[in-house]
Structures are given as C-alpha cells and as structure tokens.
C-alpha cells in the first residue's frame, strides 16, 4: 500500500550547519564522543564478573591521546557471564577505560523505576488487536499483511503461553507483583533493575524462557528485503545511558537524532528525570549507537537536552532533536508520508528486545514484528495506532511504511515516531486530545504513534 509523500528530502539535508563541538566549546560530551577507533592489542582489560555490571579493573592505552575509549571484539568481554540471564549492558565491544559504571535506575521512565504510566509499551496478541481495531472500522490490509496474518496464530499462542506463565509465577516474584494492577507490561522494567537479586532472577526463569519462545514466534532479527536493510541500518539506532538502553531514535542527519521527548522529561509534570540531570551534570554519559556502524558509538551533546522543568505535554510535542558527534555512514534517502496515515497501511518498526537466547550486544538485539499486526489503523490527523510488537526501549523509534513483498524501496517512507501504547491518546486526559478523532481508549490493545 502506498501513501502520498511530503517534501522528499535526503536525510543529509536535515543536518545542522554548525558542528556540535563548534556550537558549544564547553560541551565536552560532544567533543570527547568522537567515533571509537578499533584497536587489536592496544589495551588489557579485566572484568569483575561478580558484579551485575562489569567494572573496569585495569587498562593500558599506551601513547593514545585521542578519546579515552576503546572498542574490543565481543568475545574478549565478559566471557564468563552466564547465558541464562539477559544482560543489560552497553555494546560489549565498547568499554570506556576511564569510566566505571555506577548503580542507576534502569527504567526509561525514571526516577521511579516502577511508576505506572500510559506510555508502557505492549507485547500483544496480534489477532486480539486486529479484532479490536475492526470494531472501529473495516480494515483493508495489503496482500502481504494478510499473508503475514496467516502466521499470526503461532505468535498468538506464544504470547498466551507467556501471559499464562507470568500469571502462574507472579506470586513467587516478590511484593511488587502482589498488586494486580501490575501486569506483564511491567515485567521488562522490573527485570531490568540492577538491584534484582540472583534468587529473584532464578524465580523469573520460567518467564524468561517464555519470553524466548515469544521472541522466536513473534519477532525477527533479519530486516525484510522490501524495506531495504542497508537503509534501515543507517537510520535506526539506540540511545544508551552509560551502559544500558534508554530509548530508540531516527538518525536524521550525520550529527542529529530525532527521538521521544518523554525519554528525558516526565510528560505529566514536565520535570527532568534524574538520569537527564545526571547527564547534564556530567555524572552520566549519553550515547547513540546504530547498526550502520556497529563498532562505534557517538556522544550526545548535553547542550541538546532539556535544561529545566517544562510544561506538561502530550504526543504532539513528544519529540526532540539531539545533536550528536558526527557519524560517518552516508545518509539514507527519506520521505515523510502525508497524514492522515492510510488505514490498514503495512508498517515496519524496529527496536531493542532484551530477552534473546544469547547475551548479544544491545545493537545485535534489534528486532521487529515477524507476523501480522504491524499496520496502521484508526488514524486521525498526525496520530495513528498500530499493533506492532514493542518494548519500553522502543520509545522514539521511527515507524516506516512497509512495501509489498517482492518490492524493494530505495527510500525510507517515515510514518512517524512510536511513543507508547494507545492510551497516550486519550481525549479525556489532563493533557487533552492529541489529534481530534484519535481516541486510544477504544483500541487499548494497540500502540500509539505520531508524526512530528
């Protein structure tokens, strides 16, 4: 299914004219975060495997006088870590030699790790989401999307097993789960807490194993040919807070990333999250990594982040452009689809899924929906809903129009940014309606996106 396009541009045309370092000489987050060079034998590093996050014990960079970071082969790092428990660690090939990881809140909705918000992302049963959407209006799915739905029952069964396993074991997982309002949607944030004990992780193993089965049935690592893997790899990336995945983002220029504002600011109160303040003060570092240059990471300029409390905001203002150190890969061609998004349009959303079988580096854990369900529906204005499989770390991920199978695009058609679940667009919320006619309470099993 094709949509009209608005102002076709090269991503490179969006690049700001002044380099990050030049805009603010005191912003060392930009200056020091140049791409990391690869060294084969430039450093000796030992990790303390008893810690939840590896602590750098020793290193030697010889006469190296550039950015104090180094990239190492993945098999050199933390080889003794158990493969039974997912790790939430920065790309294992890149370790800053002069920075020790410190305890931090892993929630992308800090400071309260388990604060319940409508922005919680959804793993879901694609068939249930489709039936819910069909109650609002008839769906006209593409031939390819219809074929993908033929494989959806496998995903539906895996999701039901995951949900059932969680319900069976939740009473063993601790006091937090005694509150019936805490559901499977909170599991990833809960499991991500660094203070979670080994005993608690052992008790969660049945749910983790069910997550693995869900991933096998519902997600895929390979990028479909029709959306052009090279273009996607050059455009989609992750924002890393020190050594963990915070959110996702769209590379809109060699030194610019577009992402969700709620990754840094509480949309309800307008207050900066503690992690944002830590980055501004220099206590933490913010990085951008992407599949196009998987052995490099790029510093996010502190000067690009919000500096103080702001007014509350809804999806129409839930976006921010971040300045980063300059990437090297040529920019992909991009167009923005005219709104409203065509009903039933096939979509493609790619982001981070933590529960992979192996302890791969975060950038290697990028996944997308493998079966039916990733389509637009109930669109109004710049708002749209979708039933793509998501996790909390996918906030800010770009959503692309997906061509029919057998075709291959040479241009990424951007629909908008993924922001959270459908309830973010509630016309009765304190922040008001995002788009007139876009009522997420009627499609609560779906997710919400908006085109800035």
3-class SS string, the chain: CCCCEEEEEEHHHHCCCCCHHHHCCCCHHHHCCCCCCECCCCCCCCECCCCCCCCECCCCCCCCCCCCEEECCHHHCCCCCCCCCCCCCCCCCEEECCCCCCCCCCCCCCCCCCCCCCCCCCCCCHHHHHHHHHCCCCCCCCHHHHHHHHCHHHHHHHHHHHHHHHHHHHHHCCHHHHCCCCCHHHHHHHHCCCCCCHHHHHHCHHHHHHHHHHHHHHEECCCCHHHCHHHHHHHEEEEEECCEEEEEEEEEECCEEEECHHHCECCCCCCECHHHHHHHHCCCCEEEEECCCCCCCEEECHHHCCCCCCCCCCHHHCCEEEEECCCCCCCCEEEEECCCCCCCCEEEEEEECCCCCCCCCHHHHEEEECCCCCEEEEEECCEEEECCCCCHHHCCCEEEECCCCCCCCCCEEEEEEEEEEHHHCCCCCCCCCCCCCCCHHHHCCCEEEECC
Is 70 exceeded by the pLDDT of residue 158? yes
Q: Higher pLDDT residue, 360 or 87?
A: 360
Q: Higher pLDDT residue, 84 or 153?
A: 153
Considering only CA atoms, which of 302, 274, 277 is closest in space to residue 287? 302
* pLDDT for position 360: 73
Tokens encoding 278:
């830590």
Is 90 exceeded by the pLDDT of residue 288? yes
Considering only CA atoms, which of 254, 245, 226, 289 is closest in space to residue 93? 289
pLDDT band of residue 103 (cuts 50, 70, 90) is very low
Is 60 exceeded by the pLDDT of residue 109? no
pLDDT band of residue 72 (cuts 50, 70, 90) is very low
Q: Rounded to two decimals, what is the model's pTM?
A: 0.77
How far apart, in whole angstroms, are the C-alpha atoms of residue 238 and residue 108? 12
Q: Which whole number is the average pLDDT over 144-153? A: 92
- What is the residue whose two structure tokens read 């791969």? 360
Contact 176, 114 (CB under 8 A): yes
Question: Which of 95-99, 113-117, 283-287, 341-345 comes out lowest in average pLDDT?
Answer: 95-99
* pLDDT for position 30: 61
Percent of the chain with pLDDT over 90: 48
Average pLDDT across the chain, whole number: 76
Name all contacts of 43-48 with Cβ < 8 Å and 24+ positions apart.
43/70, 43/72, 43/97, 45/72, 45/76, 45/77, 45/95, 45/97, 47/77, 47/78
How far apart, in whole angstroms, are the C-alpha atoms of residue 238 and residue 249? 6
Tens-place pLDDT, residues 15-45:
333 334 333 334 455 643 444 433 222 222 2
pLDDT band of residue 359 (cuts 50, 70, 90) is low
Return the C-alpha torsion angle 320, 397, 94, 216, nearest 10: 160
Is 80 exceeded by the pLDDT of residue 199? yes
* pLDDT for position 148: 93
Q: Residue 283 region, left (φ>0) first, then alpha (ψ -120 to 50), else beta?
A: alpha
Tens-place pLDDT, residues 247-280:
999 999 999 999 999 999 998 889 999 999 999 9
Is 90 exceeded by the pLDDT of residue 289? yes
Tens-place pLDDT, residues 379-410:
899 999 999 999 888 999 999 999 999 999 99
pLDDT band of residue 182 (cuts 50, 70, 90) is confident
Is 90 exceeded by the pLDDT of residue 136? no
Tokens encoding 314:
């809804």
* pLDDT for position 279: 94
Q: Higher pLDDT residue, 115 or 242?
A: 242
Which of 10-19, 222-231, 260-269 is predicted most confidently?
222-231
Is 60 exceeded by the pLDDT of residue 55? no
* pLDDT for position 65: 27
How far apart, in whole angstroms, are the C-alpha atoms of residue 185 and residue 49? 30
How far apart, in whole angstroms, are the C-alpha atoms of residue 24 and residue 400? 34
Question: Which of 103-107, 111-115, 209-213 comes out lowest in average pLDDT?
Answer: 103-107
CB atoms within 10 A of CB 181: 6
Tokens encoding 304:
């690009």
**Domain range annotation of the chain:** 1-25+122-452
Q: Higher pLDDT residue, 423 or 51?
A: 423
* pLDDT for position 426: 84
């Amino acid at each position: 299914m094709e949509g009209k396009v608005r102002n076709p541009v090269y991503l490179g045309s969006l690049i700001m004219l002044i380099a990050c370092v030049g805009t603010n000489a005191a912003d060392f987050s930009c200056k020091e975060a140049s791409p990391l060079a690869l060294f084969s034998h430039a450093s000796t590093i030992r990790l303390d495997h008893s810690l939840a996050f590896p602590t750098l014990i020793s290193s030697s960079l010889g006469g190296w006088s550039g950015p104090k970071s180094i990239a190492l082969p993945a098999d050199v790092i933390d080889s003794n870590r158990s493969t039974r428990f997912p790790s939430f660690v920065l790309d294992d090939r890149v370790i800053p030699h002069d920075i020790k990881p410190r305890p931090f809140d892993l929630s992308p909705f800090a400071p309260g790790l388990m604060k319940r918000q409508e922005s919680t992302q959804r793993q879901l049963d694609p068939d249930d989401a489709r039936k819910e959407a069909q109650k609002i209006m008839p769906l006209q799915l593409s031939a390819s999307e219809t074929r993908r739905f033929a494989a959806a029952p496998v995903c539906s069964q895996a999701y039901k097993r995951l949900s059932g396993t969680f319900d069976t074991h939740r009473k063993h997982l601790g006091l937090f789960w005694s509150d019936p309002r805490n559901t499977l949607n909170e599991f990833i944030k809960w499991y991500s807490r660094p203070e979670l004990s080994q005993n608690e992780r052992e008790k969660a193993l049945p749910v983790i194993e069910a997550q693995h089965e869900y991933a096998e049935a519902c997600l895929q690592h390979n990028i479909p040919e029709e959306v052009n893997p090279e273009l996607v790899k050059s455009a989609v990336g992750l924002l890393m807070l020190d050594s963990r995945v915070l959110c996702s983002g769209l590379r809109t220029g060699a030194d610019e990333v577009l992402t969700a504002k709620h990754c840094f600011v509480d949309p309800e109160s307008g207050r900066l999250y503690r992690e944002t303040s830590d980055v501004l003060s220099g206590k933490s570092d913010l990085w951008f990594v992407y599949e196009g240059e998987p052995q490099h990471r790029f510093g996010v300029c502190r000067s690009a982040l919000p500096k103080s409390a702001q007014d509350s905001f809804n999806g129409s203002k839930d976006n921010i452009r971040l300045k980063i150190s300059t990437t090297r890969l040529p920019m992909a061609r991009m167009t923005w689809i005219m709104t409203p998004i065509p009903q039933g349009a096939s979509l493609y959303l790619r982001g981070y899924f933590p529960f992979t079988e192996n302890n791969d580096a975060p950038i290697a854990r990028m996944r997308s929906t493998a079966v039916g369900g990733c389509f637009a529906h109930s669109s109004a204005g710049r708002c749209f809903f979708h039933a793509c499989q998501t996790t909390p770390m996918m906030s800010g991920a770009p959503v692309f129009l997906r061509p029919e199978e057998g075709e291959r695009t040479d241009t990424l058609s951007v629909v908008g940014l993924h922001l959270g679940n459908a309830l973010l667009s509630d016309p009765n919320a304190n922040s008001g309606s995002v788009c007139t006619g876009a009522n997420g309470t009627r499609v609560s099993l779906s997710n919400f996106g908006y085109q800035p």
